[in-house]
């Protein structure tokens, strides 16, 4: 059985204990569980201010602190001992912005296949590019949600032209479809259509453009209601002003604020459409969760959304150009006019075929096996 160590060097600034971290950082255990369900042995090593170990869903987790704040985890004797005891067949590092740690990891395991996975990393600043490139150069493969995201790194020669690129979502989701009527009873959601937003209120997510699109759709969709879940963001005041000053929005937009994940699941089951206006995403978890919930989506046309949603007849919704509120209004009207059950079935089918734990786990397993074979060759 192939043994993979999934490693994250990001230290939680909130200093959560291991159990709480796994509950709050659901993408971490979701990715590990998907890999384990593909028939692999999985060990997760997470940098953490609070040390500990536990087993969850057949995956062993080790939380380990650097010797001192700001020090490299890979320079810790405890990390070296742990890595030696695990003796994994493959190293999978979450994030590409830890080149010093990656170089240290390569020193500790010079012959073990090593993959780096993008998690919405931006192009490094000029003064960091040489070091960043050195870290990328020791990798045996790179994982992106879509190859389009790798192109900008390759154009700048930060990733070598012969480095294998694997197209795999950052995680999976355990959300499931449910009875819409029951979910509406639980959540109090109403609207025809009921449109749901889940995301921060910032310039990247572009809630103001989305609100403009909602307002423009109202004449053709007079019973539309827009429900917004968000964990804060610098545009909250601007959003509130925009809603207050437009009679098309004033009584139909519901600002729910920060919502527990369990309630997000019920809201996604209750809604008719999901909307998001991001200009940049590594891999939108909220979009993935919407599709898992059989919720059709109207999302901005960026590389990761194209990869997650799909295009054409098999897509789980529709794409619209970033910032184009008129285009969003048209897409909302078109989706609202389409047969609801067909849309919901297409959304869930897209998730099952490309984004489910089974699909993600199988793609990760194939990437690991490819790197092992290439390393031996």
What is the per-residue pLDDT across 9-34, written as a single tens digit (0 to 9) for each? 999 999 999 999 998 888 899 999 99
pLDDT value at position 377?
Answer: 65
Say if CB 148 and CB 303 are below 8 A apart. Answer: yes
pLDDT value at position 118?
Answer: 94
pTM, to two decimals: 0.93
Q: Do 311 and 200 share a structural domain?
A: yes
Residue 1 corresponds to which tokens in the numbers above?
């059985």
Q: Which domain holds residue 251?
A: 180-355
Q: Do 350 and 202 share a structural domain?
A: yes
CATH code, 234: 3.40.50.2000
Q: Do 184 and 147 share a structural domain?
A: no
pLDDT value at position 311?
Answer: 81
C-alpha 217/C-alpha 331 separation (Å) is 9
Q: Do 219 and 337 share a structural domain?
A: yes
Say if CB 121 and CB 95 are below 8 A apart. Answer: yes
Q: What are the φ and ψ backbone dihedral angles of 356, each rounded to 5 degrees?
A: -65, 160
Nearest in space to 307 (alpha carbons), one of 118, 93, 26, 91 = 118
Q: Do 128 and 67 share a structural domain?
A: yes
- CA distance from start to end of the chain: 20
The secondary element (H helix, E strand) that includes residue 220 is none
The secondary element (H helix, E strand) that includes residue 277 is none
Q: Do 53 and 117 share a structural domain?
A: yes
- Helix, coil or strand: residue 207: helix
Say if CB 51 and CB 16 are below 8 A apart. Answer: no
280: left (phi over 0), alpha (psi -120 to 50) or beta: beta
Structurally, the chain folds into a number of domains equal to: 2
Say if CB 105 and CB 7 are below 8 A apart. Answer: yes
C-alpha 152/C-alpha 286 separation (Å) is 25
- Helix, coil or strand: residue 338: coil
C-alpha 246/C-alpha 54 separation (Å) is 52
Q: Do 54 and 115 share a structural domain?
A: yes
**Residue ranges in the chain whose pLDDT is less than 50:** none
Q: To the nearest whole percent, how much of the chain has pLDDT over 70?
A: 99
Residue 238 corresponds to which tokens in the numbers above?
């601007």
C-alpha 236/C-alpha 255 separation (Å) is 10
What is the per-residue pLDDT across 71-110, written as a single tens digit (0 to 9) for each? 899 999 999 999 999 999 999 999 999 999 999 999 999 9
């Amino acid at each position: 059985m192939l043994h993979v160590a999934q490693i994250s060097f990001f230290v939680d600034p909130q200093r959560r204990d291991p159990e709480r971290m796994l509950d709050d950082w659901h993408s971490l255990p979701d990715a590990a569980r998907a890999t384990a369900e593909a028939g692999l042995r999985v060990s997760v090593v997470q940098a953490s201010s609070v040390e500990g170990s536990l087993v969850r869903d057949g995956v062993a987790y080790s939380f380990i602190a650097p010797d001192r704040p700001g020090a490299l985890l890979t320079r810790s004797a405890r990390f070296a001992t742990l890595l030696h005891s695990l003796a994994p067949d493959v190293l999978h590092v979450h994030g590409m912005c830890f080149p010093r740690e990656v170089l240290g990891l390569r020193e500790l395991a010079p012959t073990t296949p090593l993959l780096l996975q993008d998690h919405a990393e931006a192009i490094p600043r000029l003064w960091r590019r040489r070091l960043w490139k050195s870290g990328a150069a020791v990798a045996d493969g790179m994982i992106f949600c879509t190859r389009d995201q790798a192109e900008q790194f390759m154009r700048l020669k930060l990733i070598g032209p012969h480095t294998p690129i694997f197209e795999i979502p950052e995680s999976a989701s355990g959300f499931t479809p449910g009875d819409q009527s029951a979910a509406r009873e639980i959540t109090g959601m109403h609207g025809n259509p009921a449109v749901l937003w889940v995301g921060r209120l910032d310039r990247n997510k572009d809630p103001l453009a989305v609100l403009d699109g909602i307002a423009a759709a109202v004449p053709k969709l007079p019973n539309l209601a827009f429900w917004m879940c968000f964990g804060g963001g610098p545009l909250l005041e601007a959003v509130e002003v925009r809603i207050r000053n437009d009679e098309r929005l004033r009584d139909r937009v519901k600002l729910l604020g920060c919502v527990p994940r369990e309630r997000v699941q019920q809201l996604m089951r209750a809604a008719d459409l999901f909307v998001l206006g991001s200009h940049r995403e590594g891999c939108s978890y909220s979009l993935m969760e919407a599709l898992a919930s059989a919720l059709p989506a109207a999302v901005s046309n960026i590389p990761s959304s194209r990869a997650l949603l799909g295009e054409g007849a098999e897509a789980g919704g529709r794409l619209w150009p970033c910032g184009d509120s008129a285009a969003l209004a048209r897409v909302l009207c078109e989706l609202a006019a389409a047969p609801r059950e067909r849309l919901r079935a297409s959304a869930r089918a897209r998730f099952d075929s490309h984004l489910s734990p089974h699909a993600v786990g199988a793609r990760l397993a194939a990437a690991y096996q490819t790197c092992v074979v290439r390393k031996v060759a």
